[in-house]
């Protein structure tokens, strides 16, 4: 399975999505800072599963409709930073989709995530990540789960990695940095947390109109297919 995650920088890079999907044969598209008033129902063979509703620049998940069916979706608000209270940039920061393979009935969960900005503390972002991962397990207990997006966590990732492992998940970075706008804040912002998946690799794709670079996650269910869900 190939998943692209992309922070569009206030929708500026939205026009690049069809070309990205075609070039990399993506099965799932997870977006952040997407103008939810203007999103299409379909992008190059990928069907919109859901988009957040309570913030204009929100999250969206698309899936390949000749491979999957969307069984359930869930979006949640997470603990807010001072930036969120004052400027209200985002109400919902996680959008999860439960997908069923239309050929064999196996199910997975894929989620788009956008953590609080750098003005918040890393401890708050760790709290948001833990809460989001717990909520995804409620969406499909025991299912393979992949949460990708903009974690806004460029430094001290060893603390985050340990917090994620304590929940049974793995943190995987891409092969090169994903944010380049400000010299002193460059680094890996966009990556993945997962359980029940083998992550073959995560590749940072060429930069477009966004200050974030899109990432391409290639993954499969760990140990092969799981038993079909009843």
CATH code, domain carrying 31: 3.60.10.10
| Range from 130-134, 139-143, 156-160 carrying the lowest mean pLDDT | 156-160
- Evaluate whether residue 109 is within a structural domain: yes
Contact between 214 and 137 under an 8 Å Cβ cutoff? The reply is no
Rounded to an integer, the average pLDDT of 209-219 is 97
- Evaluate whether residue 32 is within a structural domain: yes
- Evaluate whether residue 227 is within a structural domain: no
- Evaluate whether residue 156 is within a structural domain: yes
Residue 170 is part of which domain span?
2-221
> Domains in the chain: how many in total?
1
- Evaluate whether residue 107 is within a structural domain: yes
Query: Across the chain, what does the average pLDDT equal?
Result: 89
Rounded to an integer, the average pLDDT of 172-199 is 89
**184, pLDDT greater than 80:** no
Instruction: Output 134-137 pairs: Cβ under 8 A, ≥24 positions apart.
Output: 134/167, 135/74, 135/76, 135/94, 135/96, 136/74, 136/94, 136/96, 136/109, 136/111
- Determine the pLDDT at residue 154: 80
Q: Which of 216, 229, 175, 222 is nearest to 194 (CA)?
A: 222
- Determine the pLDDT at residue 86: 46
CA distance 14 to 18: 9
Higher pLDDT, 168 or 121: 168
- Evaluate whether residue 177 is within a structural domain: yes
The share of the chain scoring above pLDDT 70, in percent, equals 89
- Evaluate whether residue 230 is within a structural domain: no
- Determine the pLDDT at residue 226: 44
Residues, the chain: 230
Which residues, 6+ apart, have CB-to-CB distance to 142 below 8 Å? Answer: none
- Evaluate whether residue 229 is within a structural domain: no
Rounded to an integer, the average pLDDT of 188-214 is 96
Q: Specify the pTM.
A: 0.91
């Amino acid at each position: 399975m190939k998943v692209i995650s992309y922070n569009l920088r206030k929708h500026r890079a939205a026009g690049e999505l069809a070309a990205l999907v075609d070039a990399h044969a993506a099965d799932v598209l997870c977006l952040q800072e997407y103008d939810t008033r203007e999103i299409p129902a379909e992008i190059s063979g990928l069907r919109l599963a859901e988009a957040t509703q309570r913030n204009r620049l929100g999250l969206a998940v698309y899936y390949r409709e000749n491979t999957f069916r969307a069984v359930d979706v869930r979006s949640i608000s997470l603990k807010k930073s001072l930036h969120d209270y004052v400027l209200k940039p985002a109400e919902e920061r996680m959008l999860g989709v439960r997908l069923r393979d239309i050929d064999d009935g196996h199910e997975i969960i894929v989620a788009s995530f956008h953590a609080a900005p750098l003005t918040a503390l890393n401890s708050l972002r760790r709290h948001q990540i833990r809460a989001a991962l717990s909520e995804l397990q409620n969406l499909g207990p025991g299912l393979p789960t992949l949460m990708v997006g903009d974690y806004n966590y460029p430094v001290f990732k060893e603390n985050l990695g340990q917090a994620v492992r304590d929940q049974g998940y793995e943190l995987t970075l891409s092969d090169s940095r994903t944010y380049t706008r400000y010299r002193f804040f460059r680094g890996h912002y966009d990556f993945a947390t997962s359980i029940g998946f083998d992550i073959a690799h995560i590749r940072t794709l060429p930069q477009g109109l966004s200050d974030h670079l899109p990432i391409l996650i290639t993954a499969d269910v760990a140990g092969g297919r799981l038993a079909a869900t009843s």
